[in-house]
Amino acid sequence: MAARKDGLTMIPSEAVEEIRQRTDLVVLAGEYVPLRKRGQNLLGLCPFHSEKTPSFAVHPTRQIYHCFGCGIGGDAFDFIARIERTDFLGATKILAARAGVQLERVPSQETERLRSEHKRQVDAAAKLAALERAAFFETRGECHQLERLYRLASSRLRRIHHGDAERFQGESDLAWFALSEASRQMPKAAAAYSLMAFAPLEQRVDFAIHPGRREAMAEDVLELGSVSGHEVQL
């Protein structure tokens, strides 16, 4: 948590928590960005960089936002600080006035503790968002690689079988093996990609931070045939 350098205004943790409880990030962000419902989240054009395709997501349950385009994210305090171009103290004053919360002075040691705690929370949220984004691109990349391998193997087999199949028997066997492996792995890779694209935030974070659980989670998607209500065609 931040405080003015002159030391006259410092914010108690109770006031910060009360502001947090009284502030709905969906309503707050919606005053600056048109948002549309998508699954359990809301999407809109990011107010912090220029884009044509919505990549700015607000998560109502966790009360955080994240932009998959520019990578920034945080809570209501971080959002208002960025969009109003102020610091945490300025953002807290804006949100306090909006929520009808009276701010009082606290000792400087408490302010430093609050600053450290807020930084820890923001850093933790940023790390989770980075892991989630990396897992998303990893699953998407695996799908693209398998699709490319499938196309290359199929194309090579067609050329071999329209030519001298016996002459290229060894290469034909390798192409059939590549085709078989790509076909076997594609459904699970597609399930993992669908999970990262459509699942609720909690599931996506679970997938991102627990690599050992990813295969089982993808198998669950294959068995159910859907991700949080979104039908998966595999």
Classify each residue of 73-105 as buried b or exposed e, where b means 16 or more C-beta atoms within 10 Å of its C-beta: bbbbbbbbbebeeeebbebbbbbbebbebebee
Residue 2 belongs to a domain: no
* Average pLDDT for 152-159: 85
**45 and 18 assigned to the same domain:** yes
Nearest alpha carbon to residue 228 among 71, 33, 40:
40
pLDDT, tens digit (0-9, with 9 covering 90-100), for 66-87: 998 898 999 999 999 999 999 9
Say yes or no to pLDDT of 102 above 60: yes
For the chain, give the mean pLDDT.
83
Residue closest to 39 by CA, chosen among 56, 59, 23:
59
Domain of residue 208: give its range. 125-231
Q: Can you tell me the mean pLDDT for 56-75? A: 92
Calpha distance 158→225 (Å, rounded) = 32
Asked whether residue 100 falls in the same domain as residue 137, the answer is no
- Does residue 182 lie within any of the structural domains? yes
Distance CA 168, CA 163 (A): 9
- Backbone phi and psi for residue 78, each to the nearest 5 degrees, phi listed first: -65, -40
Q: Which of 57, 76, 106 is the last residue of a domain?
A: 106
Mean pLDDT of 213-231: 77
Residue 154 lies in a domain: yes
- Binned at pLDDT 50, 70 and 90, residue 30 comes out as very high
Same domain, 91 and 153: no
pLDDT, position 3: 40
Closest CA to 196 of 206, 186, 183: 206
CATH code of the domain containing 83: 3.90.580.10
What single DSSP character describes residue 190?
H
Question: pTM, whole model, 2 decimals?
Answer: 0.46
For the beta sheet containing 64-67, the strands, ordered from the edge strand earlier in sequence to the opposite edge, are: 36-38, 41-44, 56-59, 64-67, 73-74
In a domain, 117, yes or no: no
Judged against a pLDDT cut of 70, whether residue 1 lies above it is answered with: no
Three-state secondary-structure class, residue 188: helix
Residue 183 burial (CB count, 10 A): 13
* pLDDT single digits (tens) 166-215: 556 667 778 888 888 888 888 888 888 888 888 888 888 888 888 888 88
The position carrying tokens 């065609």 is 233
Angle at 194 between CA 234 and CA 128, to 5 degrees: 160
Q: How far apart are the C-alpha atoms of 192 and 207, rounded to whole Å?
A: 9
- Quick one: 143 and 177 in the same domain? yes
DSSP-assigned states of every residue in 38-98: ETTEEEE--TTS--SS--EEEETTTTEEEETTT--EE-HHHHHHHHTT--HHHHHHHHHHH
Do 80 and 140 belong to one domain? no
